[in-house]
Amino acid sequence: MHRFIRRILNLTPSARHLAARANAIEGVEASLSGSRYFIGILMTIGVLFSCSPNERQAEEGKQKYNVLFISVDDLRTELNCYGASHIKSPNIDRLAAEGVRFREAHVQQAICMASRASILSGIRPEKQGIYTGESVADLMPDVLTMNMFFKENGYNIAAAGKIYHHGIDHEKQFGADYMIPKKSWTGRGYVTKEAINQISLNTTHHRGPAYERADVHDTIYKDGINTLNAVRKLEELEKSDKPFFLAVGLSKPHLPFVAPTKYWDMYPEASIAMPEIREMPGNSGKYTMRLAGELGNYYGMPSRYEDIDNETTLILRRAYYACVSYADAQVGYLLDQLDKLGLRENTIVVLWGDHGYKLGDYGNWCKWSNMDIDTRIPLIFSVPGGRKGEVVDIPVEALDIYPTLTALCGMEEPSHLEGKSLIPILNNPEHRAESKEYAFTIWPQNRWNYDKTIMGYAVKDGRFNYV
């Protein structure tokens, strides 16, 4: 707890943001100067607890591992492999059975833009103004991102779907290596005439309905065509003598909850239950949660401060579940292609969510808080020759993905990374690393007005969440 208090006292968000605008590189180095000691400890631990698959690879002089990097937008830990038996997620379950699943993994800020920028840069969102959600290109144009690190180390890199939040980052980070799909949808992903017509009826926000179902092939919606492109890209990458880093970003189950009918049919109306906890937690205050968020921007949805009735709640939960199973199917296509091409034995697969999500829980919707339901994510590492079907209860951070992948692939991590390698835990899921006692998260109120930002903090130890 003393460490958590020191972290709070050292943060001055507005000052850090202005410093980042003046000089991004100096800001990164300054913000990390106090953590060199811990990086030294991390490097020592890496020697003592090196992952056996990585050791074997070095001994036999094999090619570096490939990396399949799968991100899923707005994905709760409400999955079958996480104990939610009502969810149909056979492919993510399969991946969990082939690797190590983290039960207490948390992003550092529960919003798409900042979470992704933090994960891919390796820097906490309270640094460099990341918490505002601006592009990496604007906030820290010279930072060595995860994908560029792999490229600099001789990897072929490629990406499809939502990896970064902003288009300018996809362009600058991947260039011609980013696969742009041919659109077969309108607006934010609609394919039915009714939904498309409702876009124009929403004169305030110009968004269609919050959900849609259509009797179409998976590839008519965005995630399906992006996955198809990634599957085809694997065929090309397999022929190269260089290892690859392939990032695939699935947009569902982000709003709008649109998915083919067959996934809706997996969840009969009578099977959908209301959220278990519908009241705000005790001792919460006006800054604990942000009401409703973006849901109110969609056609036919109540405005931000209006209650959502039970009937609408059940429909939205069903639509979300359908999108989860749709995204799960795309994961299955990717895993099947790895097997088909004989790539699985030399490819690390990591699946992660960019934050959690509320579906009427606490009488609230969407994300944007320090509550566990918003910050906890699915995180699964499947490493060739590694542990299988293991579950880790130790709190870890999404920031740990970058250093873990670099270490697994036998490369020296960049000095600016603020996460910790999870190799000791992957090698022994019962190992409790002192460097991973807590997970830290932030949520800023009024994040665009730097002089008036109210920063909220939380520290999680796997049992309690102190907000």
Domain that holds residue 27: 2-466
Q: Contact, 74 vs 357, CB < 8 A?
A: yes
pLDDT at 19: 40
pLDDT at 452: 85
Q: Could you tell me the pLDDT band of residue 52, with boundaries at 50, 70 and 90?
A: low
Looking at the DSSP bridge assignments, the partners of residue 66 are: 347
Tens digit of pLDDT for each residue in 397-425? 999 999 999 999 999 999 999 999 999 99
Distance (Å, whole) CA 438 – CA 376: 13
Average pLDDT over residues 73-99: 98
pTM: 0.87
Give CA angle at 259 (236, 195), nearest 5°.
Answer: 120
Q: Contact, 223 vs 327, CB < 8 A?
A: yes
What's the CATH code of the domain at 26?
A: 3.40.720.10
Q: Contact, 121 vs 132, CB < 8 A?
A: no
Tens digit of pLDDT for each residue in 147-156? 999 999 999 9
The residues carrying an active-site annotation are 112, 165
* CA atoms within 13 A of residue 373's CA, in its CB half-sphere: 20
pLDDT at 178: 97
Distance (Å, whole) CA 103 – CA 124: 21
pLDDT at 30: 38
Number of domains the chain contains: 1
Average pLDDT over residues 291-300: 85
* Helix H or strand E segment including 459: strand 454-460
